[in-house]
């Protein structure tokens, strides 16, 4: 899978986006990462799928090797750039979307807005299935996200301290190697470059805010219910907490059509760093079934 190490640059709107590509003839599978990672999140997942599909993994705008234009980095900004990238790189044909964290939200959003039959399937792990309420947060999470939303405080935490890379990733991925952390440090060398990470944290849909993000998530939730013609795979990990908590998975079972739920192993939120091959095998087997 040496070709997955290489990146391709594509002009997109006011900037560029980079992506990694490998694989064989077959369905096109697009792997979408979240915050604070990049396309290398999928480096042990994609090899399990590449013998049966064309695999593409972009860096979201402002992240990885993609450009960092002067944007607010709202959810809408990411969606517009992803739309443009997909139109340029995969202009036609069916797609299978695989998403983690904000990548899963963007995948569902794109599928819900297209409405043209291009989505052959959608696979998700540790992502936003619906908006949340503050009352659903643990006291620690409540304090954390409140701080991130506080002007000045969030900037100190993310822009100055680089908290998502230096503290959160090591805490959420016990034993993560320093060279793996370097993969995620590299795109964010200074405070200004870290603004996409901070804004993603402030886009977290809590208590009805931000209202536009909440509405888009509600809209794709409606699509997940009514799109019985689109197979869906929801992968879970143990211990199941946060976005992948049992109550969230149960909600998905009740509110998503044509849904398969599959456990992929012991991991935390950044599951592709811990059980990447298992995720890849689950996606590959599911692809065989839906082909």
Q: What's the token pair of residue 218?
A: 């509600």
Please, which residues bridge with residue 116 across strands? none
Cα Rg, the chain, nearest whole Å: 18
| Residue in 59, 77, 109, 126 annotated catalytic | 126
Catalytic annotation on 133? no
| Residue in 81, 100, 269, 270 annotated catalytic | 269
Global pTM value: 0.97
| Residue in 21, 101, 273, 278 annotated catalytic | 101
pLDDT by residue for the chain (291 residues), tens only, comes to: 457 878 999 999 999 999 999 998 889 999 999 999 999 999 999 999 999 999 999 999 999 999 999 999 999 999 999 999 999 999 999 999 999 999 999 999 999 998 778 999 999 999 999 999 999 999 999 999 999 999 999 999 999 999 999 999 999 999 999 999 999 999 999 999 999 999 999 999 999 999 999 999 999 999 999 999 999 999 999 998 889 999 999 999 999 999 999 999 999 999 999 999 999 999 999 999 998
CATH number listed for the domain at residues 2-131+208-290:
3.40.50.1820
Catalytic annotation on 101? yes
Q: Residue ranges per domain, the chain?
A: 2-131+208-290
Instruction: Please tell me the distance from the alpha carbon of residue 41 to that of residue 31, in angstroms, as a whole number.
Output: 9
């Amino acid at each position: 899978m040496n070709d997955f190490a290489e990146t391709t640059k594509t002009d997109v709107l006011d900037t560029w986006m980079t992506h990694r590509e490998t694989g064989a003839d077959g369905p096109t599978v697009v792997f979408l990462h979240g915050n604070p990672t990049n396309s290398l999140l999928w480096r042990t997942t994609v090899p399990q799928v590449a013998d049966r599909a064309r695999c593409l993994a972009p860096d979201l705008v402002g992240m990885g090797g993609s450009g960092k234009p002067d944007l607010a980095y709202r959810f809408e900004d990411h969606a517009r750039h992803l739309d443009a990238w997909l139109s340029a790189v995969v202009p036609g044909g069916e797609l299978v979307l695989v998403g983690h964290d904000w990548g899963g939200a963007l995948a569902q959003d794109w599928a819900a807005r297209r409405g043209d039959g291009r989505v052959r399937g959608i696979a998700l792990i540790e992502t936003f299935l619906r908006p949340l309420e503050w009352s659903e947060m643990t006291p620690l999470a409540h304090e954390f996200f409140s701080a991130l939303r506080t002007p000045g405080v969030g900037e100190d935490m993310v822009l100055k301290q680089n908290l998502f890379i230096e503290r959160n990733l090591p805490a959420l991925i016990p034993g993560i190697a320093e060279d793996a952390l370097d993969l995620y440090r590299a795109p964010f060398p200074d405070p200004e470059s870290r603004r996409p990470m901070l804004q993603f944290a402030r886009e977290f849909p809590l208590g009805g805010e931000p209202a536009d993000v909440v509405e888009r998530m509600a809209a794709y939730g409606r699509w997940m219910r009514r799109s019985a013609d689109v197979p869906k795979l929801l992968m879970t990990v143990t211990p199941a907490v946060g976005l992948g908590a049992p109550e969230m998975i149960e909600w998905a079972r009740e509110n998503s059509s044509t849904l398969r739920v599959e456990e992929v192993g012991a991991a935390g939120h950044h599951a592709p760093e811990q059980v990447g091959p298992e995720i890849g095998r689950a996606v590959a087997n599911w692809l065989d079934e839906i082909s």
